[in-house]
A and B are shown apart, each in its own frame.
Chain A
Amino acid sequence: MGEVLVVTSGKGGVGKTTTTANIGTALAMMGFRVVLLDADIGLRNLDVVMGLENRIVYDLVDVINGRCRLKQALIRDRRFESLLLLPAAQTKDKTAVNPEQMKALCDELKQESDYVLVDCPAGIEQGFKNAVAGADKALVVTTPEVSAVRDADRIIGLLQADTEMHHPLLIINRFRLQMVRRGDMLDVDDVNEHLAIEMLGIVPEDESVIVSTNRGEPAVLNVNSRAGEAYRNISRRITGEEVPFMDIEGNGTFMNRLRRLLGLRTG
């Protein structure tokens, strides 16, 4: 039986959907059976990032209301046999789904997969409660900005108070080494110090992410994408593999350590 991971952040626009698409694709590349579940009802987007928007027939709400069988709504990825997407509905009715139904759905999905990745909507209301209801583990995405870190802190607090997920994992997205170097961006230590949860990975800001979203091909498919490489590393860590990156107290200069952290060549 598989594991359900929810990708959440509190704040919108920090890269939850991109993160879900890339980790899911990377895990499928490694041969795992993966289901991507778009829980952002009313604002469906994971299909577009995955390049599968033209294949949608049924959606999450159709499944929950029994208008179709689960298997009919799952869309198979164009590139990987073992990668499936359950798209969100575009309905305006936010109460179309409740946490009990989501939990039952996640339980069913993980029977026949290794990983179920739930793309959580922004905010802390019904959509968030639905998205976390069936999850075994939470991945909290933030960017090195005051507003995003603040919201991540709030989300971590809610996960710890209201769910069994007391140890969420952190992903710092859109990290810009040049700005950190100039002292114009919070660095990894600053974020770590405030949030104090286990770090899963750091994803550099990378134009190739926008290009890959334009094309509907997750960045992990592009061997030259630095963000793609970071997501591949994160995915390996999710499977339990030890991929070195948090050598913050190790040897080497600060910059070299950061470069290694980001998967850049240290020269």
Chain B
Amino acid sequence: MQRILGKEVNRASKNIATERLRLVLMHDRLDLTPQMMNSLRSDILKVITDYLEIDESGMEIALQRSNDSIALVANIPVVKMKRLPASAG
């Protein structure tokens, strides 16, 4: 009987709703404005160019959503490595 009840509780649609709500709000709230995206992009550039020479025009950066997570995916073509370590430069 308890097992049946336990199973019932696990299947309760409330739990499904809670989980879906959590994910949908996470996605909604992570919608960066174009301005925020631009400033993130330029901050990333600032850091990276201390180490690498990159092709700025080919740089792609975006939030990628999958079913249960969000990732910041950046594709940044490297032209060449800098000769000196950042700390020395």
Interface, chain A (partner B; CB < 8 A): 145-146, 149-150, 153-154, 157, 180, 182-187, 190, 194
| Residue from B9, B15, B18, B29 in contact with A153 in the complex, judged by beta carbons closer than 8 Å | B29
* Residues B22 and A194 in contact, CB atoms below 8 Å apart: yes
Q: A153-B28, A185-B17 are in contact. List 6 more A-B contacts (CB 8 A).
A: A146-B21, A157-B29, A183-B13, A183-B15, A184-B12, A186-B21
Please classify the interface of chain B as helix (H, G, I), strand (E, B), loop, or mixed, using the class held by over half of its residues: helix
Cβ of B28: which chain A residues have Cβ within 8 Å of it?
150, 153-154
B25 interface contact, C-beta 8 A: yes
Interface size classification for chain B: 10 to 19
* Residues A190 and B9 in contact, CB atoms below 8 Å apart: no
Q: Residue among A146, A184, A190 with the most chain B CB within 10 A?
A: A146
Instruction: Identify which of residues 1-44 in chain B touch chain A, using a CB-to-CB cut-off of 8 Å.
Output: 8-9, 12-15, 17-18, 20-22, 24-25, 28-29
The CA of A150 and the CA of B22, in the complex, are separated in Å by: 9
The CA of A153 and the CA of B21, in the complex, are separated in Å by: 11
* Residues A146 and B17 in contact, CB atoms below 8 Å apart: yes
Tell me the nearest residue of chain A to B10, going by C-beta. Answer: A183
Cβ of A150: which chain B residues have Cβ within 8 Å of it?
21, 24-25, 28
Query: Given that A154-B28, A157-B29 are known contacts, is A149 also in contact with B21, CB under 8 Å in the complex?
Result: yes
Tell me the nearest residue of chain B to A182, going by C-beta. Answer: B12
Cβ of A190: which chain B residues have Cβ within 8 Å of it?
14, 17-18, 21
Cβ of B20: which chain A residues have Cβ within 8 Å of it?
146
Cβ of A182: which chain B residues have Cβ within 8 Å of it?
12
Tell me the nearest residue of chain B to A190, going by C-beta. Answer: B18
Q: Residue among B8, B9, B14, B22 with the most chain A CB within 10 A?
A: B14
The CA of A185 and the CA of B21, in the complex, are separated in Å by: 12
Cβ of A194: which chain B residues have Cβ within 8 Å of it?
21-22, 25
Q: How far is the CB of A175 from chain B (nearest CB, A)?
A: 13
Cβ of B13: which chain A residues have Cβ within 8 Å of it?
183-184
The CA of A185 and the CA of B16, in the complex, are separated in Å by: 10
Tell me the nearest residue of chain A to B18, going by C-beta. Answer: A190
> What are 11 A-B contacts with C-beta separation under 8 Å?
A146-B20, A150-B21, A153-B25, A157-B29, A182-B12, A183-B14, A185-B17, A186-B17, A186-B18, A187-B14, A194-B22
Q: How far is the CB of B22 from chain A (nearest CB, A)?
A: 7
Cβ of B29: which chain A residues have Cβ within 8 Å of it?
153, 157
Tell me the nearest residue of chain B to A183, going by C-beta. Answer: B12
Q: How far is the CB of B6 from chain A (nearest CB, A)?
A: 11
* Residues A183 and B25 in contact, CB atoms below 8 Å apart: no
Cβ of A187: which chain B residues have Cβ within 8 Å of it?
14
Tell me the nearest residue of chain A to B24, going by C-beta. Answer: A150
